[in-house]
């Protein structure tokens, strides 16, 4: 799982990039060995204040086997990580954080 985060305030921009534990890594390797297609799922989350003068956004990308179940799960994992990184950046910039992820009620 790879991520990029941008923190912007008063014309200054800090770009960060990193990698986190990827729960789909072994599934992706196995899919490649079996000739199954690989999908790349990306999710971007952001928050801002003062009409975008101060803002934080984060994009998380995950590669997974190309089937509906794995793509949906990878999307949820990417969203949760992007939300976590965005809220962390928002707290550094002292701007409003986004609401925490809530599990769907069944």
* pTM of the predicted structure, to 2 decimals: 0.88
**What number of H helices and E strands is found in the chain?**
2, 4
pLDDT in tens, 13-70: 999 999 988 889 888 888 888 888 999 999 999 999 988 889 999 999 999 999 999 9
**Best CA proximity match to 75, nearest among 23, 19, 14:** 23
pLDDT (0 to 100) of residue 31: 86
pLDDT in tens, 70-86: 999 999 999 999 999 99
């Amino acid at each position: 799982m790879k991520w990029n985060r941008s923190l912007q305030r008063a014309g200054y921009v800090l770009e960060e990039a990193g990698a986190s534990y990827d729960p789909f890594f072994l599934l992706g390797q196995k899919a490649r060995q079996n000739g199954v297609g690989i999908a790349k799922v990306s999710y971007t989350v952001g928050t801002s204040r003062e009409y975008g003068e101060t803002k934080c956004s984060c994009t998380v990308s995950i590669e997974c086997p190309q089937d509906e179940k794995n793509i949906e799960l990878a999307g949820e994992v990417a969203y949760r990580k992007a939300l976590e990184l965005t809220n962390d950046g928002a707290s550094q910039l002292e701007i409003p954080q986004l609401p925490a992820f809530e599990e769907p009620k069944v």
